[in-house]
Structure 1
Amino acid sequence: MFSRRELLLLRAMYQHRTVTAAAASINMTQPAASALLRDMEIRLGFLLFSREKRRLQLTSQARTLIPEVLNALAGIESVERLAGDIRQGTMARLVVGAVAIAASSLLPPALMRIRKAHSELAVTLRAGTALEIIEMAVDHRIDLGVIVGTVADNERVSSVQLAPLSLYAICRKDHPWAARRDLSLAEVAMAGPIVLATALPAGRATRQVMEAEGLPYRPMMEAMQSSSACALAAEGLGVAIVESLGARYAQRQGLAAMHLMALEDPVLALVWSRDRSMSMPAQQLHEVLMQQVDAW
């Protein structure tokens, strides 16, 4: 009764709520999308959307259809992925999305464990910001996502907290502070640290904590990635403040990492699509990541 194009348009309308945005997301023109919606409504015999305050809202009939539309598309896409894997000689595939620091510190050892147990598994790793990873999960472009942030009351994705995060000071091992076990955030703040940009959850938390404690926020440098902040510290340009994953990365690079304070927010979290069940490889990675974080 529905073509794949119609199913894609219904899912896009559910996600974007406007014909223009929905059409653009699936490479259709707005007039073509509007015409297709009208054709579907005529064929079905009921309205799919009503206009309220210049935005389209799903009718009760459409809301009844949407879960099955999402399941149908997920099934089609799963069959297509499986067919592609069979064609390429691979029977299992795992697509993971991760923020940059998780991709370079947390995921490699976890994926090594998965690959040792399942050598036939093909893995695709996609990087992005936390918001981009969530969108990838919503659009079924990844099986599992690893983010630094908070997923609050999001109806489109499921999530679980992997671990709380802390702030760490990073410096070279020949730095006078490298052996300190009682280093305070105040000392690092007064020295003019290298910080993460406030566009990042951990960078924003760093600034908020400093301001809450009445400390000056006068960073010497800002970095858009924890690995970049660590690299600057490695060159002797100063002491960097990064989150737990950045500290783990720094230690692997031979740098000193001193704990400064625990954070309530952001957290390290996993996200996946709410519209379909997690694949078996994704479930296995989920378990491995939980064990790995517990061990850390």
Structure 2
Amino acid sequence: MLSRRELLLLRAMYQQGTVTAAAHSIHMTQPAASALLKDMETRLGFALFSREHRRLHLTSQGRALIPEVLNALSGMESVDRLASDIRRGASDRLSVGAVAVAASMLLPQALLGVRRAYPHVTFTVRAGSGLEIIEMAVDHRIDLGIVIGASAPNERVHKEALAAVSLFAIFHPDHPLAEARSVTLAQVAALGLIALSPALPAGLATQRAFEGQGLDYRPLLEVAQSFTACELAGQQLGVAVVESLGARYAQRMGLVARHLLTMHDAALSLVSPRDRPLEGPSLCLRDALREAVRGLGVVAGA
């Protein structure tokens, strides 16, 4: 097992690139840092760094460790901050998980309402996929999560549907479709589809909708974020297909959004640990998110 000091040194090496700079950043001497690195490599059984042109570079094995090193230190630092808050009497802490588009379109106004009611609360916002957010709720890493999709039920998580979700076609106001009152998937296919990845609920729904109508699913561009799809459509690179919250983002950009179809097997939902009832700030946030959804008009055909 690596100690916190060793994890700090690995992170510093990743960030600084030299033993001297890394050692200085964590208040170690260069000889002590070099000795610690050698000791780590001996215990781990593989080389962490290779030397090229008098500089150390992470080996493939070393690079594989870095994400977990960063996650481990982030967790330790979160524990330190929480302990500090408790010592100072500021024990109100709210951890929220959200898929990216929900974090941008729903959370800011909702968190503002929580801050007004609980001025001393501190927030932690974690991003992830729907399944990752659910796992965070299972592990009590978050108090409340916002997901989109029809994730497999988990008996350790409470789930509350906030709104149905639809697919929308997004395009520039100067696009030939701008005057059309309705848009079909066939028109989208003919004019260049900008699709979300099928790894996302909306992306998978788009692919299935195309296949269900006998259309070739051949995206001109495939991206991992609704924001990116909308930006590309804004540059007139094609027609984006995104979910309801992405459509609201597009409208804020001045783009045109036309309803395509309702995702009957997916919803915008809240998740929370089933064995830890919502109370105080988390209960306030739930109510604020409900209001934010109503305020945005996030409904199936809006």
TM-score w.r.t. the length of structure 2 is 0.67
Question: Given the alignment of the two structures, is residue 171 of structure 1 paired with residue 154 of structure 2, yes or no?
Answer: no
- Provide closer, same or farther for how the CA distance between residues 151 and 279 of structure 1 changes in structure 2, counting only shifts above 3 A: farther
Q: Deviations over 1:15-40 (max 9, x none)?
A: xxxxxxxxxxxxxxxxxxxxxxxxxx
Q: Which amino acid aligns with 2:157?
A: V
Identity of aligned residues (%): 55
Q: In structure 2, what is the equivalent of residue 86 of structure 1?
A: 86
Question: Given the alignment of the two structures, is residue 162 of structure 1 paired with residue 162 of structure 2, yes or no?
Answer: yes
Q: Deviations over 1:191-239 (max 9, x none)?
A: 2210001011110011111111222211100001111111111222111
Q: Which amino acid aligns with 1:133?
A: I
Q: In structure 2, what is the equivalent of residue 204 of structure 1?
A: 204
Q: Which amino acid aligns with 1:201?
A: P
Contact kept in structure 2, 1:165 and 1:265, CA below 8 Å: no
SS at match of 1:275: coil
Aligned residue pairs total: 218
Q: In structure 2, what is the equivalent of residue 115 of structure 1?
A: 115
State the distance in 1 between where 2:108 and 2:132 align.
21
Contact kept in structure 1, 2:118 and 2:281, CA below 8 Å: no
Q: In structure 1, what is the equivalent of residue 137 of structure 2?
A: 137
Q: Deviations over 1:226-279 (max 9, x none)?
A: 111111112221110000011111112222211111110221111111222223
State the distance in 2 between where 1:171 and 1:113 align.
33
State the distance in 2 between where 1:152 and 1:197 align.
19
Q: In structure 1, what is the equivalent of residue 106 of structure 2?
A: 106
TM-score w.r.t. the length of structure 1 is 0.69
Cα displacement (A) at 1:172: 1.6
State the distance in 2 between where 1:179 and 1:154 align.
45
| Runs of 5+ consecutive residues of structure 2 not aligned to the other structure | 1-78, 298-302
Q: In structure 2, what is the equivalent of residue 153 of structure 1?
A: 153
State the distance in 2 between where 1:213 and 1:157 align.
35
State the distance in 1 between where 2:210 and 2:88 align.
53
SS at match of 2:293: helix
Question: Given the alignment of the two structures, is residue 182 of structure 1 paired with residue 182 of structure 2, yes or no?
Answer: yes
Cα displacement (A) at 1:190: 2.4
SS at match of 1:214: coil
Question: Structure 1 stretch 175-184 or stretch 127-136: which is displaced more?
Answer: 175-184
Q: Which amino acid aligns with 2:274?
A: R
Aligned alpha-carbon RMSD (Å): 2.0
- Provide closer, same or farther for how the CA distance between residues 235 and 88 of structure 1 changes in structure 2, counting only shifts above 3 A: farther
Question: How is 1:38-53 mapped onto 2 (pairs within 5 angstroms)?
Answer: none
